Amino acid sequence: MGLLVPGFSVLLLLSWVLASEGGDISFYRNYKVAWGANNVLSLDQGREIQLSMDASSGAGFASKLSYGSGSFSLRIKLPDRDSAGVVTAFYLTSQGNNHDELDFEFLGNREGRPYTLQTNVFANGEGNREQRTLLWFDPTADFHTYRILWNRHQIVFYVDRTPIRVFKNKQSIGVAYPSRPLQIEASLWDGDSWATDGGQTKTNWSYAPFKAYFKGFHISGCGVQNPADIKRCDASSLWWNKEKYWNLDSSERSAYETVRKKYMNYDYCADRHRYPTTPPECSQQY
């Protein structure tokens, strides 16, 4: 008896840690297969999902619900070896015209050359806001957490705990801000017309099937059934809406500065050829 009690509390603690990390629940609770069902494999009783891509198809999944605010993450392990032309995507998107979309796109590469992580922000149908960064680890060796925080004040893209991109709400100066219900989607597909070296480096199908792995299917988000319900997603009782999450804190700011300096290799904000006038949302970084 004396032994059982501590054992039991260790179990409780362990399950609490797992639940709070979101590593513990089945894919099928919050997500569904969207396309390429033959290339979707459930592992570990649905706690892990493998997407594969061969010459016949890629595959994708989507959240069952749409959300109006939240902190959305997946743990992802990317296709290894030669992944040139292969795109692994994790993004939030609204349906219909003038859509809003927040993207992580992992652009594969020839074996031994690094992945590029491209992010983009669409608001009211307008995108063309690419940023690209290299990663400071091998994303094919292990799972890493990729996360998008979205509230009425800012959108932050995180790689593990490091912010790599911030999009502030600048509606006050006329910049559209994502504010439609967003569905979470992830996919693996052939992007060799553009993804690697601007489309010059093609997918080598002798390495197929390419495989990406996903975990962490817990969702911290404000689910909306009806678009008119989205107002309640601004509630300050939701943790990601609290004032603490309106801006990066000082340690996040310094991590963000470091990563931009060392790893970012393209920023539309600095592309004078494409944008002779700096887009207005670029004026304040965080």
CB 49 within 8 A of CB 213: yes
The nearer residue to ligand NAG, 206 or 236, going by C-beta atoms, is 206
Cβ contact 227:99 at 8 Å: no
Catalytically active residues are 101, 105
Contacting residue, 172, 206, 237, 265, with ligand NAG by CB under 6 A = 206
CB of 240 to ligand NAG, least distance (A): 44
In angstroms, give the least distance from the CB of 36 to ligand NAG.
23
Q: Considering the rule CB under 6 A, would residue 201 count as an interface residue with ligand NAG?
A: no
The residue count for binding ligand NAG (CB under 6 A) is: 2
Q: Which residue is nearest to ligand NAG (CB)?
A: 204
Q: What is the C-alpha R_g of the chain?
A: 20
CA proximity to 131, closest of 259, 247, 277: 259
* CB of 83 closer than 8 Å to CB of 248: no
User: Which is nearer to ligand NAG, 26 or 204 (by Cβ)?
Assistant: 204
Q: Is 204 in the site for ligand NAG (CB under 6 A)?
A: yes
Check residue 192 and give left, alpha or beta (phi > 0: left; psi -120 to 50: alpha). Answer: alpha
Pure H helices in the chain: 4-21, 27-30, 250-263
233-to-67, 151, 153 alpha-carbon distances in Å: 8, 8, 13
Q: Is 237 in the site for ligand NAG (CB under 6 A)?
A: no
**In the window 43-102, what residues touch ligand NAG (CB under 6 A)?**
none
- CA 140 – CA 276 distance, rounded (Å): 37
CB of 140 or CB of 204, closer to ligand NAG: 204
Quick one: 185 or 192, whose CB is closer to ligand NAG? 192
CB of 110 to ligand NAG, least distance (A): 8
Per DSSP, the three-state class of 138 is coil
CB of 212 to ligand NAG, least distance (A): 20
Residue 116 vs 203, nearer CB to ligand NAG: 203
Q: What is the DSSP letter of 55?
A: S
State the residues that interact with ligand NAG by CB under 6 A. Answer: 204, 206
